[in-house]
């Protein structure tokens, strides 16, 4: 996964803001032969009815809104992110059971006592039996140059 540091910071801040509950959102960008290139985030509200400190749900209407927002920017939904309050940034058995999109990137940020820590990326195997680690490549921030 390629992503700018500012987007990773936004994921961390979202996790801190919703602590002790899990945050969640979608990754918008482009998919290519060298993996997913994340260019924007689409944060959403955790719609899980109970145990939001251990579970998250993205409502279908939020997913559709994210798809529309992505299309308007010439992008696609390429993955999801969520936090693990007071737990490691590793996929849980529930994460695996509820994952449905091979090819998507799944980002997890650990938030311990309200402070974001480790952030990891994963992809679901085509047979949907496990997650495998995905490298995170930090892209440089673009700067504008005055041509005068």
Q: How far apart are CA 140 and CA 92, in angstroms?
A: 31
Is 22 tagged catalytic? Answer: yes
Reduce the DSSP state of residue 99 to 3 states and report it: coil
Q: Kindly give the pairing relationship between strand 24-32 and strand 35-44.
A: antiparallel
Distances (CA, A) of 15 to 20, 75, 86, 136, 141: 9, 24, 11, 18, 22
Longest CA–CA span in the chain (Å) reads 57
Q: Which of 22, 53, 67, 98 is catalytic?
A: 22
Going by their DSSP bridges, the two strands 35-44 and 76-85 should be labelled as: unpaired
Q: Which residues are catalytic?
A: 22
């Amino acid at each position: 996964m390629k992503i700018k540091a500012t987007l990773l910071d936004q994921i961390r801040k979202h996790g801190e803001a919703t602590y002790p509950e899990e945050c969640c959102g979608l990754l918008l960008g482009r998919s290519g032969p060298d993996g997913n290139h994340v260019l924007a985030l689409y944060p959403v509200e955790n719609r899980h009815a109970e145990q939001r400190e251990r579970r998250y749900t993205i409502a279908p209407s939020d997913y559709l809104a994210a798809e529309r927002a992505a299309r308007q920017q010439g992008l696609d939904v390429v993955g999801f992110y969520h936090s693990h309050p007071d737990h490691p940034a590793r996929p849980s058995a529930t994460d695996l059971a509820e994952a449905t999109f091979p090819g998507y990137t799944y980002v997890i940020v650990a938030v311990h006592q309200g402070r974001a820590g480790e952030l990891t990326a994963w992809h679901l195997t085509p047979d949907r039996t496990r997650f495998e680690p995905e490298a995170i490549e930090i892209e440089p921030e673009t700067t504008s140059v005055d041509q005068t």
